[in-house]
Structure 1
Amino acid sequence: MASSVDLATLHIDDFTAHKDAAFDMQTANGVVPLRLAKVDAAGNSGRQGGAFSLLFAAPKGPWLPQAIYPVTHPRLGTMEIFLVPIGPLADGNGYQAIFT
């Protein structure tokens, strides 16, 4: 397995350019495709570059539990992200990650 990106080094600008891009989430049952639906600033948390949130859309289907999942993007690499199901979106199941 490839090494993971250090989440502390990621900033909102790293994701803004990839809005609507495809990501892959590895689960125990295989890969789930994700689309980065939204990138939002979330205030000043003391984190370098400030806090931000990511909203991913997965295909409609069974919900996955909140957990840390390896999420891969061709340019950003593999990140171990804590994703929380937040409810249905128009185009699938919504999962949110908050970086504080």
Structure 2
Amino acid sequence: MLETFTAETFRPLLHEQFELVVDEETRFAVELTEVTESGTPAAARRSQFALVFSGPADPILPQRIYRLEHPELGAFDLFLVPVAAGSYEAVFT
């Protein structure tokens, strides 16, 4: 599923809520706050892009793969990196 995602997949979902699943008992609502496209390298199948999600400032979650859930996209796993208190970035190359 991830290989089919593009920036255009997420642009219509800007400012919508996603559910970030930490474990079976811990979930956080996060908002998609940025979709940034950075071009297509030679021989690439898609443009590179990044997503930024904003959520609670506490706790700060470590970088790792998290399950995200959205009513339109379903459930999928993303590697998220904390970039500021309550903000997490996923980069697609």
Q: Note whether the superposition's TM-score is higher than 0.5.
A: yes
Shift of 1:47: 3.9
Structure 2 gap ranges (5+): none
The structure 1 segments of at least 4 consecutive aligned residues displaced by more than 2 Å after TM superposition are 45-49
Equivalent residue for 1:35, pick from 31, 34, 45:
31
Aligned CA-pair RMSD: 1.2
Structure 1 gap ranges (5+): 1-5
Look up the match of 1:24.
19
CA distance in 2, matches of 1:48, 1:39: 18
CA distance in 1, matches of 2:45, 2:13: 20
Q: TM-score, normalised by structure 2?
A: 0.91
Contact 1:19 1:38 in 2 (8 A): yes
Identical aligned residues as a percent = 32
Q: TM-score, normalised by structure 1?
A: 0.85
Shift of 1:24: 0.4
Q: Which amino acid aligns with 1:97?
A: A
- Establish whether residue 48 from structure 1 lines up as the match of residue 45 from structure 2: yes
Look up the match of 1:9.
4
